[in-house]
């Protein structure tokens, strides 16, 4: 349900027309050496490049696949610079606005019914949380763990038997607003868990013996903004002191080596870490909830997109965690299991060496807090659509991911004290 906003805020919000991305392009470049990597960094200084992968300019390195979005106005100059320097590149998307519109390629089954094959806006997700509670009162409860800077509620769904303390897994989706397939998976997980209980042997066993805490949308304000104003929005919507730029990257705002990576202190950057660890209401709500349930939470799983990876600690250091072999074994089997459905290939490993170094991530924070099985899924795809995965790919993505999550959950049930 939409909350009533002060009249002034409504006027301000309505005054901003939704951003259009007509003829904007998505480039994929593979710098062959440090010199070519530096050329991309230099282009980013003089042009507005939106880095899709890696998440920021300073991560760009030799032999890395680099995806970035560029405006129609600047695309010709970028292309000339790449040609001039004999750099390998391809244009993955020629007109971003067209791809945004093509995302919605699934027709609604029955109007009014919640669809798991479509992307759902925040209003629909809130209505869905109520519906799940009403439909499965013995299995699903909703906990308001806090609210956002724009005063939207942060809801966690608890799935499992009401009585008795048992092992639990905490899962969150949508920490980055534009990664829409992530909240779609959290909805799918709740739907499948409740639907297959007593029908599916593994799910029945899991729900009889464990609880799942599911945060379907972590970054609610950003998610709403990505639906209504700017499809490419990543951060939350908090105001930053002494800056006209809005938002903090919530996945750089956790107290895990928070300020160790340079270039996360610019409020205008997409990976801005915030003014202090847990400075954001959303981060604080999640950390308070996890800390207060620490004796039962045995695993933490967070869902992102895109690049088809299963990651584990650490991001802020190349040092391997003490139970590295255990994490690697679970990730290897998890990715193998995932691939059995549609042969989708994932790679796995520590964040720092598999994707790029990060500081202040939720994954590292949860691990350092004492949750020794923490994983991050980077869901489909590998860049053809990037953040604009068509709706027709939602169900296959969710089905294969579910296999891996069920495997991890079984492992947690059996192997954690």
* CB 364, CB 316: distance < 8 Å: yes
Strand, helix or coil for residue 337: helix
Q: Report in angstroms the alpha-carbon separations of 176 from 82, 180, 194, 341, 377.
A: 30, 9, 26, 27, 13
Of 318, 250, 310, 229, give the one whose Cα is nearest residue 20.
229
d(CA 404, CA 336): 8
The residues that are catalytic are 378
d(CA 273, CA 276): 8
* CB 312, CB 332: distance < 8 Å: no
> What's the start-to-end Cα distance of the chain, in Å?
40
Task: Tell how strand 66-70 and strand 25-29 pair up.
Answer: antiparallel
Alpha helix (H) ranges present in 197-280? 201-209, 220-228
Beta-bridged to residue 304, according to DSSP, are: 378
Residue-wise over 156-195: b if at least 16 C-beta within 10 A, else e?
bbbbbeeeeeebbbbbbbbbbbbbbbbbbbbbbbbebbbe
Alpha helix (H) ranges present in 136-249? 181-196, 201-209, 220-228
* CB 128, CB 114: distance < 8 Å: yes
């Amino acid at each position: 349900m939409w909350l009533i906003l002060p009249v002034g805020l409504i006027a301000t919000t309505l005054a901003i027309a939704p951003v259009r991305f007509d003829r904007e392009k998505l480039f994929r470049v593979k710098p062959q050496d440090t010199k070519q990597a530096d050329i991309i960094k230099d282009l980013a200084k003089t042009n507005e490049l939106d880095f899709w992968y890696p998440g920021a300019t300073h991560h760009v390195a030799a032999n890395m696949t680099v995806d970035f979005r560029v405006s129609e106005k600047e695309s010709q100059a970028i292309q000339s610079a790449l040609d001039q320097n004999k750099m390998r590149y391809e244009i993955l998307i020629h007109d971003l606005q067209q791809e945004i519109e093509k995302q919605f390629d699934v027709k609604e089954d029955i109007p009014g019914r919640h669809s798991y094959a479509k992307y759902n806006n925040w209003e629909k997700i809130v209505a869905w949380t109520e519906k799940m509670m009403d439909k499965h009162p013995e299995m699903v409860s909703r906990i308001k763990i806090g609210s956002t800077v724009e005063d939207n509620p942060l809801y966690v769904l608890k799935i499992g038997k009401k009585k008795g303390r048992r092992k639990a897994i905490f899962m969150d989706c949508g920490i980055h607003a534009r990664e829409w397939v992530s909240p779609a998976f959290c909805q799918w997980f709740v739907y499948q868990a409740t639907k297959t209980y007593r029908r599916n042997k593994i799910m029945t066993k899991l729900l009889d013996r464990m609880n799942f805490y599911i945060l379907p949308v972590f970054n609610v304000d950003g998610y709403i903004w990505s639906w209504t104003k700017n499809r490419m929005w990543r951060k939350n919507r908090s105001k930053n002191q002494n800056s006209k730029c809005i938002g903090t990257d919530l996945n750089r705002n956790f107290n895990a080596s928070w300020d160790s990576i340079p270039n996360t202190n610019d409020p205008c950057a997409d990976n801005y870490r915030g003014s202090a660890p847990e400075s954001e209401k959303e981060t604080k709500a999640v950390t308070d909830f996890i800390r207060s349930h620490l004796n039962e939470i045995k695993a933490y799983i967070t869902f992102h997109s895109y690049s088809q990876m299963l990651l584990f600690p650490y991001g802020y250091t190349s040092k391997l965690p003490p139970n590295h072999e255990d994490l690697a074994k679970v990730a290897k089997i998890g990715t193998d299991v995932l691939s059995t459905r549609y042969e989708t290939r994932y790679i796995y490993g520590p964040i720092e060496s598999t994707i790029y170094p990060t500081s202040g991530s939720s994954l590292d924070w949860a691990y350092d807090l004492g949750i020794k099985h923490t994983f991050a899924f980077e869901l489909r795809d590998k860049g053809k659509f990037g953040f604009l995965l068509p709706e027709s790919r939602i169900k296959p993505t969710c089905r294969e991911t579910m296999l891996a999550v069920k495997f991890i959950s079984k492992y947690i049930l059996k192997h954690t004290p």
